[in-house]
């Protein structure tokens, strides 16, 4: 009978805060979106991590739904000129997308680690 390993920290907490998915201590990012090569606390190699475009797609869908919903409400209720829509909603869309991108990428990496996800292979 094998001994269970130490309990992993929550992938949601570590991913959203940009911490190592194994120890929860070391930083995950080197810059805004670039991953560090390894954890400074436990030495976990982040080479396994490939979030690809997944976080960006989810963020575009979420931000698009929120910003478009608010823009439609404002248009129907107040009927402002188009330039005012651009002044309000374009910066808001950029802020929402950039604000969510790093936590969602961290979450994707942490969930990959927690679920031992890897590239699919064909068996012969």
Q: What is the pLDDT of residues 37-62, one digit of tens each?
A: 999 999 999 999 988 899 999 999 99
Residue 2 has pLDDT above 80, yes or no: no
Q: Which range of residues forms the domain containing residue 48?
A: 11-114
pTM: 0.86
Instruction: For residue 26, give every residue at least 6 positions away whose Cβ sits within 8 Å of its Cβ, in sequence order, or none.
Output: 19, 20, 36, 39, 40, 41, 42, 44
Count of domains for the chain? 1
In a domain, 1, yes or no: no
In a domain, 31, yes or no: yes
Of 1, 4, 7, 2, nearest to 21 by C-alpha is 7
In a domain, 102, yes or no: yes
Q: How confident is the model at residue 3 (pLDDT cuts 50, 70, 90)?
A: low
- Which pair of tokens denotes residue 17? 């805060």
Q: CA-to-CA distance for 61 and 70, rounded, in angstroms?
A: 14
């Amino acid at each position: 009978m094998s001994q269970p390993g130490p309990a992993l920290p929550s992938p949601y907490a570590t991913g959203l805060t940009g911490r190592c998915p194994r120890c929860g201590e070391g930083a995950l990012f080197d810059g805004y979106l670039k991953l560090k090569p390894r954890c400074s606390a436990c030495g976990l190699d982040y080479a396994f991590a490939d979030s690809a475009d997944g976080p960006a797609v989810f963020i575009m869908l979420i931000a698009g739904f929120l910003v478009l919903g608010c823009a439609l409400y404002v248009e129907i209720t107040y009927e402002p000129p188009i330039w005012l829509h651009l002044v309000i909603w374009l910066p808001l869309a950029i802020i929402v997308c950039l604000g969510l991108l790093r936590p969602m990428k961290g979450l994707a990496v942490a969930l990959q680690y927690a679920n031992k996800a890897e590239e699919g292979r064909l068996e012969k």
